[in-house]
Structure 1
Amino acid sequence: MAVASFVLGLIGLLLFNIVFGPLALALGALALLRGTARRGRALLGLALGAADLAVFAVALAGSHGSLWQVG
């Protein structure tokens, strides 16, 4: 789960960050709760998941509340 969190966090920086960000956060938290041996990757997954959501927030604010531009 820690590796999946890390990979989803990385992919989320480029594609579908609103989907992959929360998934990376959830998997990273679950991996840490279950006592994974890959603690560093789980923490990186948490950080990347949070970064995914931050990128989404900046993109949403930059588009003035509208994700789609018509005309």
Structure 2
Amino acid sequence: MTALRPSVRDHHPARPSTTSEQPTPPAPESHPGPPASDRPAPGRRDADAMAVASFVCGLVGLLVMNLVLGPVAIVLAGLALLRGTTRPGRARLGLVLGIADLAVLAFLVSADHTWSWSIG
């Protein structure tokens, strides 16, 4: 009885394979959009989203809920700038608007002597 062990001669790396194995083509990308090299890294996208959210919170905070939205805008802007956003101008504007929210709140509190305010 002979051993079922393959011989070294059959699997020599310098010798081309006698079987007709074709390499499989790469699978198409499952997601549309630009190539992976053109897309920002996930952390960078989060920083960009924080910059935009900071701007929106600061802008809306000038009209309503400035006690809450002002500090949120300041924190989001700071995080976006620390994480290296591609929109530093928007983050800085969100920071300024967040500070303005708190300044408007301080002015209205000193004028009305109350934490709530209304127009009219």
Common fold by TM > 0.5:
yes
Give the RMSD, CA atoms, in angstroms: 1.0
The higher relative CO (CA closer than 8 Å, separation ≥ 6) is in: 1
Deviation readout 1:32-57 (Å, 9 max, x if unpaired):
00000000000000000000000000
Q: List gaps (5 residues or longer) in structure 2.
A: 1-49
TM normalised by structure 1 equals: 0.91
Q: Does 1:49 align with 2:94?
A: no
- 1:1-71 alignment, distance < 5 Å: 1-63=50-112, 65-67=113-115
Percent identity over paired residues: 60
Q: Which one-letter code corresponds to 2:81 in the other structure? A: L
Q: Which one-letter code corresponds to 2:98 in the other structure? A: G
What SS does the aligned partner of 2:78 have? helix
Distance 2:54 2:98 in 1: 8
Higher radius of gyration, 1 or 2: 2
Aligned length: 67
Q: List gaps (5 residues or longer) in structure 1.
A: none
Q: Which runs of 4+ in 1 moved over 2 A?
A: 65-68
TM normalised by structure 2 equals: 0.54
Distance 1:25 1:10 in 2: 12
